[in-house]
Structure 1
Amino acid sequence: MSHHSPPKNQIRELIEEINQWAIANGLAMYPPNFEANPSNASVSPVTIYPTPIPKRCFDEAVEIQPVFNELYARLAQDMAHPDSLLHKTTEALALSDPEFTGKLWSLYLKILKDVQKKRQTFKLGIFRSDYLIDKKNGSEQIKQVEFNTVSVSFAGLSEKVDRLHAYLNKANKYDLKGPFYNEQNMVISDSGYLLSMALAKAVESYTSQQISSTSSDPIVAFIVQRNERNVFDQKILELNLLEKFGIKSVRLTFDDVHDKMFTDNETGKLFVKDAEQEVAVVYYRTGYTTTDYTSEKDWEARLFLEKSFAIKAPDLLTQLSGSKKIQQLLTNKSVLGKYTCNPKKRDSLLKTFVKIYPLDDTELGREGKRLAFSDPSKYVLKPQREGGGNNVYKENIPNFLKGIEERHWDAYILMELIEPELNENNVILRDNKSYEEPIISELGVYGCILFDDKQVLMNEFSGSLLRSKFNTSNEGGVAAGFGCLDSIILY
């Protein structure tokens, strides 16, 4: 496919089409401070055209996702063993990041002490692996930016923006003479359906455990942020659960957990009070950063949920396996080899990694510290947590590190910057304004795995996502206000 872009003369007409399609199809978010008028939503920030991605890179990302799913399931299991590398690593991390990793770890230790009734062994991982396509060595190679193990978003809206672009193409809105793109090359993600299917499979496996009579229709509890703006993305999963799988769900904040839930003392089963509905799966769409926990009460709510017999998506250890520190450890071939027995699989994972250094007192850590000061322009400094907005780039790294005590440096990793191709032919639409600036695009691939210590019940690729941002913006969060949703055209 040629990289030339559609005629730009009808941008105004396209914007009108996009706004109307988006509102007709729920490609929407709440604006800031929507609480005063919840009937007022706005069209999600999107690109006007799809973005070209090499088919070879896309196929590689899809193919490798189940390998990543399995890897992270193994990491979570290994972390439970007190003598394992991951247990010790997370313990150390808990000390250097006491506000967040430390809190999650202490909840995990409390649960261990609590010799309670039957414990839920199944865990559901709903993951997303994010890549940039690196052009450094003249050939294109997907390089992993991060692996997200909790509260991955945009599965619902991703399939909408794919369908939006497919519609504009099919309806000759890009080019009046006929479809501009070959439809075969447009990727239509089924992520909204596939994530709800994974939740449904978890409900099914919960029901089959039958520890005393399970109520007829156990439900999924979505644990959400207060005043969540990205609610429609989540709603798509809720609607799918009901319409396609006959499973009801409920949306609860950490406040609601205290007010509206209880557990059965005998079985540890979790219920929503008024309706006496049994909860099969606790699905976190919050809880991935310190600001999600506004007080000690929120941490108590998390502990209460984790202790219950419901299946967690994810549980504490699965969430903790997604730390940047563990991502850094995995770039070591022999460490990775411990968790991926098949050498071919191991090498296919290694190919997607860039160099990542700790900033501790190991040999590699000392090298990391040296590079942070001598050659910062090739690196990004990342803290041990999710959620965007926390990274320090290039020339800003030395002063940032000088501003904090060296003993806290090991709460960060130094990661080699990926050099993706700029797309100069797309246009970003945000709040009805169009912006023609070069963009870079990040490919996200969803994967779901249902597992316990003995078996994997399901391990699947679950759709894709493309997010783009201005080349001038270092952070790519769509909800955070820097990025937008995009779709993929393969070439």
Structure 2
Amino acid sequence: MEPCIPLPVKEDELQELVSMAKDWALTHGITMRTADRPTSSEVTNYAPFLLLPSPFPERLFHQACAVQQDFNLLYHRVAHDHDFLQSTLQSAIKVDDFTKRLWDIYETVRKEGIKQPVSLAINRNDFMTDSQGRTLSTPEDVNTLGIKEIEFNTIASSFAGLETQVGLFHRFILERCGLADKVIKLPANTCVPGIAGGMVQAWKLYGNTEAVILFLTETVSRNIFDQRWLEWGIYEINSKVKVLRRSFDQVYRKSQLTEDNKLILEGHEVAVVYFRCGYSPNDYITEEDWTTRLRIERSTAIKCPNIYYHLAGAKKVQQELGRPGVVERFIQDSEAVKRIRATFAGMYSLERDAEGDAAVAMAMENPFKYVLKPQREGGARVLYFSEGHEVAVVYFRCGYSPNDYITEEDWTTRLRIERSTAIKCPNIYYHLAGAKKVQQELGRPGVVERFIQDSEAVKRIRATFAGMYSLERDAEGDAAVAMAMENPFKYVLKPQREGGGNNYFGEDVRKVLERVLDSDERMAYILMERIHPVPFQNYVLRAESPVQPNTMLSELGVYGVLIGTSDRIITNKQCGHLLRTKTSDTNEGGVATGYSAIDSPYLV
């Protein structure tokens, strides 16, 4: 695809643009804490970003945006379907301790009775263009491209703040280059007011104007400024809303549940809990961290996500939705089903059965066609801090990874939040709904349709699905294993859980499958068809690194906000986008993990 200006740029012009770009970034908040001082804002640097907006097909951009509300509704219904989550995630629960701990919290609060029926979902659906290996010879060949879903994120979907600023910078740089007429090709981005507005609306629904929104964050976070943009966005909408940033350990030590399940944190009632951590096992270091997650889920706080939304984000769910009839189980609108299914890429289960064996064999034969991914994704009590603040909303910016739960106190904190009446973003069932296994399951025939009755919405959702295959230990999983072993370069092997990274490509797909072939460990992964995005030229600005033209690939994320109960949708909207771009020789794609840079689309 052709860039917005001819490349390469002359060296003297390039150096002037680069100098201007770095200063603009630091002046306008495209910033991160430094690696050597990750807990301090005394020394910062610019976050990795692209010098120029990157070309992205206009037709596919609008297709991805148009299907977001369909996906929001699909995953909302998935998250509230206990039988579907149980049947879809049972194998992942068996082999992945992190998913099992999340499931245990889900079952605990479900049996006790969900204390907060309102869910706040802040989702991000990630897509790539797909050339199916074809080379684009003419500008018209862009019309032959498709778009495929990479994953649906239900917890800690980051970079809305920095993305907004990068989009503004790209408008500035085009104008400075004398290309003001091309600014019209840069789509407006509403992710910060859209996401912040969703949290404020949830806070209002909670019904206590003195309650607070809790951002549940990592103890160490270089990406604090991206989160602050959302906090400032909340204040711009309603300056009376108080936002607290606290870690699992702080919530464990400084919060408690009242008799009527309100979550009290430092004296404040918590209305909404927004998880910016908690998606990784690394977020749960001690048992107290798990206790905290359960406390939150038991509360009346609105969680973003709640535990069942978290589970719905599993890769296994994504893979299951790719099966015939599964989307249709949730979405009755045939046009919506078409939109959804049009984005699906192939995902394969690695269950220990014929289907899983076939998938393993397929990946081992041609490992460069696939990616191996882990399965896991990334109540009625009010939550109070010991300082006396009632928490209205808890926004999780951590908690999606096992690394976020270092001690039992971290798990105890999550439970405390879930038990509270605070609105969680996500609550525990939204967290579970984000598992890769859920994504895979949604690809099965009839699964999307189970949740979405609008046929047009189902079409829009299914149009984005890439092939995903379960690796269960059954006939289907064996078939997926065989398929991947035969041609591993066609697939990606992914962990079931969310959180970014830890994927396997090429020969590594075959090596991992050979290691786990005859064990239940293979069920902790999902197999996905490898997508072939279209390369282009651009410049990456990264601290202390030379700036030179590189061949790049982009991944488009579309944000969505949904607020509702199990039987009522209050708000469902698409709100902005994120473009992350990496060099073509890089397999992984996270900005926070150092692989990608923040970008914005130039529509072609």
TM-score by length of 2: 0.75
Alignment of 1:111-130 (within 5 A): 111-114=109-112, 119-130=115-126
1:133 corresponds to 2:129: yes
Deviation readout 1:99-152 (Å, 9 max, x if unpaired):
x1111111112223436xx81110100000000001127611110000000000
| 1:421 match: secondary structure | coil
Q: CA RMSD in A?
A: 1.7
> Does the C-alpha gap of structure 1 residues 29 and 181 become closer, same or farther in structure 2, counting only changes over 3 Å?
farther
1:256 is aligned to 2:250: yes
The equivalent residue for 1:155 is 160
> 1 or 2, which has the higher helix percentage?
1
Q: Which amino acid aligns with 1:264?
A: T
Cα 1:17–1:89, aligned 2, differ >3 Å: closer, same or farther? same
CA distance in 2, matches of 1:380, 1:373: 12
Q: Residue 478 of structure 1 aligns with which residue?
A: 591
Q: Is residue 154–residue 465 contact of structure 1 (8 Å, CA) maintained in 2?
A: yes
1:36 CA displacement: 6.9
Out of 101, 104, 119, the residue aligned to residue 102 of structure 2 is 104
Task: Structure 2: state its 5+ residue gaps.
Answer: 135-140, 268-385
Q: Distance in 2 between matches of 1:21 and 1:395?
A: 42
Structure 1 residues 338, 35: closer, same or farther in 2, change over 3 A?
closer
Q: Assess if the C-alpha contact under 8 Å between 1:131 and 1:145 holds in 2.
A: yes
Report the AA paired with residue 255 of structure 1.
Answer: D
Contact 2:33–2:40 (8 Å) recurs in 1: no
- Look up the match of 1:87: 86
Structure 1: gaps of 5 or more residues: 208-213
- 1:346 is displaced (CA, Å) by 1.4
Equivalence map 1:331-410=2 (5 Å): 331-404=443-516, 406-410=519-523
Q: Secondary structure at the match of 2:92?
A: helix
Question: Contact 2:38–2:221 (CA<8 Å) still a contact in 1?
Answer: no
Q: Which residue pairs with 1:13 in the alignment?
A: 16
Structure 1 residue matching 2:244: 3-state secondary structure: strand
Q: Distance in 2 between matches of 1:362 and 1:180?
A: 58
Q: Is the 8 A contact 2:473 2:520 kept in 1?
A: no
1:37 offset after TM fit, Å? 4.6
Which residue in 2 is equivalent to 1:40? Answer: 43
Amino acid at match of 1:324: K
| Structure 1 residue runs of 4 or more that deviate by more than 4 Å after TM superposition | none
Q: Distance in 1 between matches of 2:180 and 2:586?
A: 30
Q: Is the 8 A contact 1:279 1:310 kept in 2?
A: yes
Shift of 1:362: 3.4
User: 3-state DSSP class of the match of 1:359?
Assistant: strand
Q: CA deviation at 1:263?
A: 2.3
Q: Determine which of 550, 555, 560 is the counterpart of 1:437.
A: 550
One-letter code of the match for 1:199?
Answer: M
Partner of residue 210, structure 1:
none
| Structure 2 residue 526 is the aligned partner of structure 1 residue 413 | yes
Superposed CA offset, 1:67-112 (max 9, x none): 0000000001012xxxx232222233211211x1111111112223
Secondary structure in structure 2 of the residue aligned to 1:34:
coil
State how far apart, in whole Å, the 1-side matches of 2:528 and 2:259 are.
Answer: 47
> Are the structure 2 counterparts of residues 97 and 267 from structure 1 closer, same or farther at C-alpha, using a change threshold of 3 Å?
closer
Equivalent residue for 1:166, pick from 145, 168, 171:
171
Task: Quote the sequence identity (%).
Answer: 33
Contact 1:262-1:272 at 8 Å conserved across structures: no
Q: Does 1:238 align with 2:236?
A: no
2:217·2:247 contact (CA, 8 Å) conserved in 1? Answer: yes
Task: Give me the whole-angstrom Cα distance separating, in 1, the residues matched to 2:164 and 2:121.
Answer: 20
- In structure 1, how many angstroms separate the alpha carbons of the residues matched to 2:84 and 2:22? 51
Q: Which amino acid aligns with 2:162?
A: L
Name the aligned partner's letter for residue 147 of structure 1.
Answer: F
- Give, in angstroms, the shift of residue 2 of structure 1: 5.5
- The answer as to whether partners of 2:4 and 2:602 remain within 8 angstroms in 1 is no
Larger displacement relative to structure 2 (353-362 or 458-467)? 353-362
- Code of the residue aligned with 1:395 in structure 2: it is E
Alignment-derived partner of residue 206 in structure 2: 206
**Contact 1:15–1:432 (8 Å) recurs in 2:** no
Amino acid at match of 1:24: T
Cα offset for 1:11? 1.4
2:405 is the counterpart of 1:293: yes
Moved more, 225-234 or 236-245: 236-245
State how far apart, in whole Å, the 1-side matches of 2:423 and 2:474 are: 38
Question: Would you say the 8 A contact 2:130–2:147 is kept in 1?
Answer: yes
How many residue pairs get matched?
A: 471
